[in-house]
Chain A
Amino acid sequence: MPFIPHTDADVRTMLDAIGARRIDDLFDEIPAALKSGPLDGLPLAVNEMDITRIMHERAARDGMPLNFIGAGAYEHHIPAAVWAVTTRGEFYSAYTPYQAEASQGTLQTIYEYQTMMASLTAMEVSNASLYDGASALAEACLMAVRANRKSKVSRILLPASLNPTYRKVARTIAGLQEFTFDEVPYDAATGNIRVESLAAFDAQDITALVIQQPNFFGVLEDVDELTRWARGNGTFIIAVVNPTSLALLKPPGKWGDNGVDIVCGEGQPLGVPLSSGGPYFGFMTTRMAHVRQMPGRIVGRTLDLDGRPGFTLTLQAREQHIRRGKATSNICTNQGLLMTAATIYLTLLGPAGLERVASASHERTQELVRALTRIPGVRAKFSGPRFHEAVIALDGPAADVLAALAERGIMGGLDLGALHAELGDAVLVCATETKTTADINAYATALADVLKSARAA
């Protein structure tokens, strides 16, 4: 019996102690009519050797193509030590640290993580992580409504240059509570928001403005001006940021004159593999003044009975297991394992290493854009300054071009046709520090070839 240790003699001993004849007698409170028959639809058991073969075959079918897709999930080098340590059983198979004395490892890791994320974003406090970047934004919208006491409505401004999936997720989750989401257009030439386009909302009751930096197109927003507008309007600012970029870019705590109110984003770039989209983790940091409105777990350092320092979950009065229907959120986990990986990743990289990863990724993306735009019919779509990701416009059908590239083992980027039809045939591309000049040239050569045959056909 897989993963069940009982011998026949054990079972006999146990049934005797219970006073039951058969194991099935233990289910005598379930009405007989409800009991299920055999689960014929399920396959028969396979052992570890056989499932290993099956999984290797399936993994091989998906292959290891050369990847130039980013769009919210980035392929960075992950030091071997990150997952070797993270998957130690003591981290992997522990529960939420309710028994603090038996969970100091997890709790201290969270405290160190909170310190790193608060500093990286230049905010005062961090939670212990949320599910992912998109759902973190939804939670940030809910939090802004609780925390922005000047606002009497639940109205959020979302830029059209925000990751479109984040918009969808915010609508799914926050939209359950009568939220209004208004869209702020982006400038078709630069690819970022012009502060003038916010004039339409001047003096209106707006709970929060979301600013993504860099935005979905990889273009940098004028975060200072946008922040100042929001501040002047009594509107909260929710920053959505790529944590790697913060080694180089101005952190949200320094935007405008006195920073933003809530920062959130996708933590995946910090040591988490692409893995078809998850598990990743969302991060969230804020000002101390709003800490009681923040969702999710928070760890604090305190003293034990002997006066020695130790760590424990704190501010639990916000949470569902205490507050039930009045909790800040129904969330009762963080993404502990991923948070652990990220903390180890940031420790191994350090400030210098993270800055190099950010610089190299930017350098590689710029090199990629130069290589691709040398091809006739390919140009950069936006004129605004970019970081580590770019939109390129093609003179042929993007979907067909990408499919042809995929056949050659190159993931050429994300087709924006379905998400941003107004851009025409446009592809969002990204190269990180993992891509060499040879990789970039391979892409450029393949693209030139594909476009040429498309024109010939």
Chain B
Amino acid sequence: MIREAAQVSSTGRSNVAAPEKVIFEHSRRGRTASAQIPAAQRPTDLPQNLLRTDRPLLPEVSELQAVRHFTRLSQLNFSIDTHFYPLGSCTMKYNPRACNSLAMLPEFLARHPLAPESHGQGYLACMFELQEMLKDVTGMQGVSLTPMAGAQGELTGVAMIIAYHRARRNLERNEIIVPQAAHGTNPATATMCGCTLREVPCGADGDVDLEALKAAVGPRTAGIMLTNPSTLGVFERRIVEVATVVHEAGGLLYYDGANLNAILGKVRPGDMGFDVIHMNLHKTFSTPHGGGGPGSGAVGVGNRLLPFLPVPVVGREDDRYRWLDEKDLPQSIGRLSGFMGNAGVLLRAYVYMRMLGREGMTRVAEYATLNANYMLARLIAAGFDAAYPERRASHEFIITLKRQAREQGVSAMDFAKRLLDYGFHAPTTYFPLLIPECLLIEPTESEALEDLDAFVDAMIAIGEEAQVEPAKVQGAPYHLPVRRLDDVRAAKQLDLVWKPAA
């Protein structure tokens, strides 16, 4: 029997954390965390006209007040460590603690990014091996670890495609094809790269409409951006035909690695015909999401794009590792970050991959897919509608609540908010945009059967509430630090910084 989270708190009191004052409201003039303040005199050798004359608005609190405030704030969050978090397309799997603690060894933390290679052989060895492992697991010929997030990996990928065409004096190829179901970052990336966009529809079965694709490609085609399995949660079965159509038209194929977790060790993007991919190390390789970053969007390329990889890349000569830069890769698209991307995140991905090893990679896809298909089967059995009932789920799947919205007036957002009351983070809602009233559900391989069951039971319970008392679902959540927030007010009466009462 599933209950609302507030009713099952083992301590017998409500587990709703109390709201926490804004830090500035804890502030008292003259209070300090004095153990953190070094001795120094205000300098007298700086030009007077270049000095600050007012005090910045920073909190004045004790160390305990600071620690308590941010600890309390943390307790207002749902997270993987505290809640099942089946957010579709985000791969919220367990982030092993060893990945964090080993990336934070004092020597790694203290290493300056511009320190010489003589004092970085340990770090560089990890990076070199990470590049090699990522090449192998994706079937690509070269990897650059510098992109700092998936979106920057995308930018890198499209920039390399354009650089490739330019290098071949193919100046007119600047059209990027994206399927209708693509992540919003794909079209936004194409625009940032100065490309024009061309959308192709998906068929009723969820696969790309091959005829529409054939009609879309031509002498202006730079490439296509694809996610496989697609954002619809199904494997693009005619991927070989898609690759042939695009390649024969002179374009290149870009693989958006958002869903790599679904196929890890089962099928490699390089073998599917992709020329370039980005990997979300914060999804597939379990580096933290951190409340919205840091991500890490390493890119892999086939032979054609090797010369264009962003620098720096780690190379090995004899038994020494060194940075390869613009001198080694004169056709490189250049640099994307001040130093080496999200270097410490890369260490976390390295530790994770070593702990998984060869067999572990394949098991990721297997158990992620098992979990998704099990949840789908149970939800269908309970009377929920799958968006693609004829298709095998990949590592995620879509439930559409169109019927519930029509019959009971209870929307996908209402279900999502009510799930929070039951102690589950909501799945992704209203994405992909193609499917009305949808929930995109991705359990990941690290969740146990009983947690999957508990989620399904909560969905069933909410479905019953929707029939009996729809207003209850529509008004959710009730047991969180705040109830539903007024987004219109937030955008109209902008309150983006705290100001002291006048």
Contact = CB atoms under 8 A, between A and B. Distances in A.
5 A-B pairs with the lowest CB-CB distances in the bound complex, closest first: A45-B357, A89-B81, A277-B339, A337-B290, A277-B113
15 contacts: A39-B137, A45-B354, A58-B125, A83-B104, A89-B79, A92-B95, A95-B85, A114-B497, A115-B498, A247-B52, A274-B110, A278-B294, A278-B339, A279-B343, A324-B187
Interface string A32-60: 01111011111111111001101111111
Contacts of A261: none
A302 B293 CA distance: 24
A168 B104 CA distance: 29
B136 to A, nearest CB: 4
Interface stretch (B209-217, B244-252, B484-492): B484-492
Interface stretch (B6-14, B231-239, B404-412, B463-471): B231-239
A278 B59 CA distance: 27
A359 B43 contact: yes
A38 B102 CA distance: 28
A186 interface: no
B170 interface: no
Contacts of A298: 496
A107 B41 CA distance: 37
Given A248-B52, A354-B58, A59 B23 contact: no
Given A171-B334, A279-B345, A344 B42 contact: no
B110 A75 contact: yes
A46 B36 CA distance: 40
B121 to A, nearest CB: 5
Given A38-B358, A305-B484, A97 B71 contact: no
Contacts of B461: none
Among B56, B79, B426, the one with the most A-chain Cβ atoms within 10 Å of its Cβ is B56
Interface string A125-144: 11011011111000000100
B355 A51 contact: yes
A19 to B, nearest CB: 7
A335 B266 CA distance: 32
A43 B352 CA distance: 12
Report the interface size class on chain B. Answer: 35 or more
B300 interface: no
Nearest to B176: A325
Contacts of B434: none
Interface stretch (A200-208, A308-316, A372-380, A446-454): A308-316
B337 to A, nearest CB: 5
A387 to B, nearest CB: 7
A300 B190 contact: no
A5 B448 contact: yes
Given A46-B354, A101-B482, A250 B51 contact: yes
Given A83-B104, A330-B185, A312 B447 contact: no
Contacts of B267: 30, 34-36
Contacts of A102: 77-78, 83, 420, 425-426, 477, 480
Contact of B340 (A176, A277, A333, A355): A277
Interface in B360-384: 360-367, 369-371, 373-374, 377-378, 381
Contacts of B340: 276-278
B358 A326 contact: no
Given A6-B367, A169-B337, A359-B43, A89 B82 contact: yes
Interface string A405-445: 01100010010000000000000000001000000000000
B93 interface: yes
A197 interface: no
A350 B60 contact: yes
B357 A42 contact: yes
Interface string B220-246: 000000000000001101011000000
Given A91-B79, A274-B111, A40 B41 contact: no
Given A69-B112, A100-B482, A300-B496, A360 B40 contact: yes
B272 interface: yes
Nearest to B125: A58
A348 B41 contact: no
A38 B359 CA distance: 8
B482 A27 contact: no
Interface string B442-472: 0001111100000000000000000000000
Interface in A85-120: 85, 87-106, 108-109, 111-112, 114-116, 118-120
B482 A276 contact: no
A283 interface: no
A431 B107 CA distance: 19
B185 A305 contact: no
Interface stretch (A7-15, A145-153, A230-238, A390-398): A7-15
Nearest to A166: B338
A363 B52 contact: no
B61 interface: yes
A278 B159 contact: no
B253 interface: no
Given A58-B125, A314-B490, A323-B184, 17 more contacts: A6-B367, A43-B133, A51-B102, A88-B71, A99-B425, A115-B57, A177-B194, A279-B345, A301-B496, A303-B489, A304-B483, A310-B19, A319-B184, A331-B149, A333-B292, A335-B290, A353-B37
A14 B370 contact: yes
Interface in B125-182: 125-126, 132-133, 135-137, 139, 148-152, 154-155, 159, 162
